[in-house]
Amino acid sequence: MALRWSRLSPQLALTPALAVTAVAFVGAIGWTIYLSFTRSRRLPEYTIDWSEWGRQYSRLFRDDAWMISLRNLITLGLGSALAIVFGFVLAAMIDKEKRGESLFRTVFLYPLAVSLIVTGAAWRWMFNPDMGIENFLHQIGLTGLNFSWLAHADTAMYGIILASVWQSSGFYMALMLAGLKSINSEIWSAAKLDGVPLWRLYIEIVIPMMKFTFITCAILLSLGVIKAYDVIVAMTNGGPGQSTYVPAYFTIQALSSSGNLGYASAAAVMMLVITAVVFLPLVLLTAWQQRRRAEAVK
């Protein structure tokens, strides 16, 4: 086949993106994986001591801070899942009760527009033990209540979860609302005619129909949780002690504060592994969906 300019120009146009992907993503990932097997400290070292190539990893799993990070990751994941539930409830209510839809939507979604550093700053202030909400609660006589969560190692994660839920519920609400609106409106009339109570309709028909939306939300949430960094910096900076460390925070600490490149690389590789575990269902889901669509076309 003769070389044609019209064939060539799209390929030429793709070279920058291809180069970026190859260098900044594929190459960089390989680089970090390689570094994780070396003894690199502040500067990269490129010799691998094959007798103990996994030393960074074994150190990692003996490090309390890393184990705390993993535990916190799970806590944060489970806690933030409330945002999906909350988002669904809000979406269902807005969808049924059309009054005030756009107002409510605007209010529920605005936290998403601001930086997590701002969110963290606001919640850090409200959790202040002396002048924040706790003080207000005590002033109105609720002296038994404790709202200075960030100040204590055992409750600090809950503070972060609360801020995360506040920040992200609107997002899941928006996704759910889109899912709900794509449900055939005749279902509602049919249920009304059949006299099916609304809650049963939701549990037995609507939620199963929105299976895909729920799975999508769950995966997005997991990916978001793995990346959680800004909100930790702004609210607790990992403290008190190391009680609010998460892998993303741990990794960056290892690199920038402790200056331990090999160790940070090993932690980053573990983050990638966790992402892959979460990501796999998404890939399968996409493939499955495509197959189903291909079948539908036939």
The residues in 27-86 that bind another protein, with binding defined as CB under 8 A, are 27-29, 31-32, 35, 44
* Binding-site string for another protein from residue 165 to residue 184, where x marks contact by CB under 8 A and - marks none: -x--xxx--xx-xxx-xx--
Decide if residue 16 touches another protein (CB under 8 A): yes
Toward another protein, which CB reaches closer, 51 or 297? 297
Which of the stretches 60-68, 104-112, 149-157, 189-197 binds another protein when contact is defined by CB under 8 A?
A: 104-112
Q: Minimum distance from CB of 62 to another protein (Å)?
A: 20
Q: Are 232 and 244 in contact (CB under 8 A)?
A: yes
Which of the stretches 48-56, 77-85, 202-210, 222-230 binds another protein when contact is defined by CB under 8 A?
A: 222-230
Toward another protein, which CB reaches closer, 27 or 54? 27
Residue of 81, 156, 226, 246 interacting with another protein (CB under 8 A): 226
| Token output for 277 | 């575990």
Q: Minimum distance from CB of 270 to another protein (Å)?
A: 10
Which of the stretches 48-56, 62-70, 71-79, 164-172 binds another protein when contact is defined by CB under 8 A?
A: 164-172
Decide if residue 100 touches another protein (CB under 8 A): yes
Number of residues that bind another protein (CB under 8 A): 105
If phi > 0 it is left, if psi is from -120 to 50 it is alpha, else beta; for residue 44 that is: beta
Q: Minimum distance from CB of 80 to another protein (Å)?
A: 15
Q: Minimum distance from CB of 107 to another protein (Å)?
A: 5
Q: Minimum distance from CB of 34 to another protein (Å)?
A: 10
Q: Taking Cα atoms as reference points, which of 245, 289, 291 lies closest to residue 271?
A: 245
Which of the stretches 67-75, 151-159, 189-197, 261-269 binds another protein when contact is defined by CB under 8 A?
A: 261-269
Toward another protein, which CB reaches closer, 51 or 140? 140
Q: Minimum distance from CB of 89 to another protein (Å)?
A: 9
Q: Is the dihedral of CA 57, 59, 62, 68 positive or negative?
A: negative
Q: Taking Cα atoms as reference points, which of 222, 251, 213, 288 lies closest to residue 74?
A: 222
Toward another protein, which CB reaches closer, 157 or 247? 247
| Token output for 188 | 């509602």
Q: Minimum distance from CB of 60 to another protein (Å)?
A: 13
Q: How far is CA 25 from the centre of its chain?
A: 20
Residue of 56, 80, 261, 263 interacting with another protein (CB under 8 A): 261
Q: Are 127 and 133 in contact (CB under 8 A)?
A: yes
* Binding-site string for another protein from residue 114 to residue 153, where x marks contact by CB under 8 A and - marks none: xxxxxxxxxxxxx-x-xxxx-xx--x--------------
